[in-house]
A and B are shown apart, each in its own frame.
Chain A
Amino acid sequence: GAVVSQHPSRVICKSGTSVKIECRSLDFQATTMFWYRQFPKKSLMLMATSNEGSKATYEQGVEKDKFLINHASLTLSTLTVTSAHPEDSSFYICSAGLAGGGGELFFGEGSRLTVL
């Protein structure tokens, strides 16, 4: 299957700082990537759809100015959590699909964010 890589896998930051998480498709190009958030022992919630070369599409209730998404190339999308707050602590996972892959999605390893 296709490989999606995230970095960093774990990050700890202070309140008020910004943190950037990278999502890369290693062996394929992805015009669309997806960012999910997962709370402890809960399921994944779609935050936004990242579109290469254009603005991201955010789900209802997700703050655009807090979670900045950039998809500058066909293999890289970044999620920046701005002015981080302890309530932003969570597990963030990205995914991407192959063109012509029947809609199958492949997920990164996830990034654990802890805001102190």
Chain B
Amino acid sequence: KQEVTQIPAALSVPEGENLVLNCSFTDSAIYNLQWFRQDPGKGLTSLLLIQSSQREQTSGRLNASLDKSSGRSTLYIAASQPGDSATYLCAVGGFQKLVFGTGTRLLVSP
């Protein structure tokens, strides 16, 4: 059974810092890995999708990497801003069937 863990569970940083969120999974036989953002009481916004054959994806200040063999993914956020404050979830799994991690709650203070 696939298990997904995210570290740290919570992170508080001053504005402008570069930061790394970690995601690990137990079964390397994945179809893809997706990073989401969730604001309090809201749904999920897809940030980045990495196919199992890819090593990384970039969108603006966000960069996600995938090391399938070691069961790890990282989400790198450059020059963090207060608007980045949210919960970040990674999800792995088979085609369109995702197993979610427990999330990292990020707070970026001005």
* Cβ of B5 to closest chain A Cβ, rounded Å: 10
**A: number of interface residues (CB 8 Å):** 24
- Which DSSP category, helix, strand, loop or mixed, fits chain A's interface? strand
| Contact in complex: A105, B96 (CB < 8 Å) | yes
| Contact in complex: A43, B98 (CB < 8 Å) | no
Determine the residue in chain A with the shortest Cβ distance to B95: A103
- Binding-face segment, A14-22, A68-76, A81-89, A107-115: A107-115
| Contact in complex: B89, A93 (CB < 8 Å) | no
| Contact in complex: B41, A103 (CB < 8 Å) | no
| Contact in complex: A110, B43 (CB < 8 Å) | yes
A42 to B4, CA, bound (A): 13
A49 to B98, CA, bound (A): 11
- Which B residues touch A95, using CB under 8 A? 44
| Contact in complex: A102, B49 (CB < 8 Å) | yes
Q: Does B58 touch A at the CB level, under 8 Å?
A: no
Q: Does A106 touch B at the CB level, under 8 Å?
A: yes
Q: Does A13 touch B at the CB level, under 8 Å?
A: no
- Which B residues touch A110, using CB under 8 A? 41-43
Q: Which of B34, B44, B51, B100 has the most CB of A within 10 A?
A: B44
* Cβ of A92 to closest chain B Cβ, rounded Å: 10
Interface residues of A in 37-79 (CB under 8 A from B): 42-46, 49
A107 to B46, CA, bound (A): 8
| Contact in complex: B42, A104 (CB < 8 Å) | no
| Contact in complex: A43, B89 (CB < 8 Å) | yes
- Which A residues touch B85, using CB under 8 A? none
Q: Does B81 touch A at the CB level, under 8 Å?
A: no
17 of the cross-chain contacts (CB-CB < 8 Å) are A34-B96, A34-B97, A42-B102, A43-B103, A44-B44, A44-B91, A44-B98, A44-B100, A46-B97, A93-B43, A95-B44, A103-B95, A103-B96, A104-B46, A106-B46, A108-B43, A109-B42
CB-based closest 4 A-B pairs: A107-B44, A109-B43, A43-B100, A110-B43
